[in-house]
Amino acid sequence: MKTLTLKGLQRCRGSVDLPGSKSIANRALLMAALAHEPTEIKHLLRSDDTERMLEALAALGVKVCESTTTQVTVVGCGGQWPLQPASLYLGNAGTAMRPLTAVLAATLAAPVLLTGDARMQERPIADLVDALDEGGADISYQNALGYPPLLISQRLQGGTIHVSGSASSQYISALLMALPLAPQASRLVLTGDVVSWPYIELTLTMLRDFGIKIIQVSQQEFHIEGQQQYQSPGEYWVEGDASAASYWLAAGVLGGGPLRIEGVGGKSIQGDIGFIAYLQQMGGKVTVHDEYIDVQGGQLHGIDADFNAIPDAAMTFATLALFAKGRTAIRNVANWRIKETDRLHAMATELRKSGAVVEEGEDYLIIDPPEQLKAAQIATYDDHRMAMCFSLLGFSDVGVTIEDPDCCAKTYPNYFSELQRLT
């Protein structure tokens, strides 16, 4: 197995241009494909997840013309797919599997099988399938009940649809993207405590950019007219990944800065920009501008906070806790368990290797840092965020060895080369 050892990193300074957001990039690609006119997408993230979406769109007959690797023109087909593949393989890309399940249910011309890798077949999707079935679709499980692969064989019609928001906001975003294409008007009702609400707001903002009208009746209810048409904005810029910004914000604090993070700032439509407020609460010195962020070090102390709104970025606090004075508690992150791996258990297991005392609950971690960090070899579980989070231990005297660092290709292929450049 390939490993990478980082040790005694002294500074982190300079300027880094973030890759495009995975969440925005895959939504933009699919919305552009659903429009009738071409859309030029700029600052597109090229990673494993976006490649799975691009492959799926190509299999459906959508023409994508590359000007550069990060600038493409999607020739939309208005939801009338030129090709009807029998199956689509989506790897472990949740940002492709969830929206395509809903959108293909709304635009179906022939049955299609959606499948993925071994981990994707362990990631639950029953809440989304139940909602689509309630709206008239017919989706059947081809292996384990509640998990991909899925066979979609009957079209979504609309009507009153209920969906639980307690496991993943991606189910809600998928329905918000699909229901405007249904033949009937829809009433979408969210049940339970909705997680990652900022991602739903991101989806609603992007839908407005692509000409879709959705009426939010209350905090957990939407009215959506059917037979709407996606409209190209002409050009669409994919802002930098706010989740990825968390690693540089943390590195800038640990390495003293000054570090400028380009591509995301106060104008961001991503909820993970909220990471900054928690980092400032922890002692980080951060200044936010409209389109970039400056970080200049800080002295860290533990915090106790509810991170339900920013679960991806919250992972970075788990390793920052090892450099903080006192206890850190990361709460209300139950959906870590259904991500690329069971992140709650994986994070607890790997933190303990560094000497930390960690309490793992059903939806929380409580971390007491050790007096002296231990050198550790960290398993990454084929999870990009595990690798990037634990890279921060390179700022310790004992250092860290990261197993399978190339798993970062899912969202940030050149992360470690950038870390080397800036440190």
Q: Which residues are identified as catalytic?
A: 312
Residue 284 annotated as binding site:
no
Residue 7 annotated as binding site:
no
Indicate the angle between helix axes 48-59 and 22-34, nearest 10 degrees. Answer: 10
Neighbour tally for 108: CB within 10 Å: 18
Residue 396 annotated as binding site:
no
Which neighbouring-strand residues pair with 292? 262
Residue 173 annotated as binding site:
no
Residue 166 annotated as binding site:
no
Contact 54, 301 (CB under 8 A): no
Residue 312 annotated as binding site:
yes
Residue 13 annotated as binding site:
no
Q: How far apart are CA 386 and CA 407, in angstroms?
A: 9
Q: Which one-letter amino acid corresponds to residue 416?
A: F
Residue 168 annotated as binding site:
yes
Looking at beta carbons, which pairs linking 374-378 to residues 24 or more positions away fall under 8 Å? 374/398, 375/399, 375/400, 375/401, 376/350, 376/400, 376/401, 377/3, 377/353, 377/401, 377/403, 378/350, 378/353, 378/402, 378/403
Residue 11 annotated as binding site:
no
Residue 143 annotated as binding site:
no
Residue 327 annotated as binding site:
no
Binding site per annotation, positions for phosphoenolpyruvate: 22, 94, 123, 170, 343, 385, 410
Instruction: Return binding residues for 3-phosphoshikimate.
Output: 22-23, 27, 168-170, 196, 312, 335, 339
Pick out the residues of the known binding site: 22-23, 27, 94, 123, 168-170, 196, 312, 335, 339, 343, 385, 410
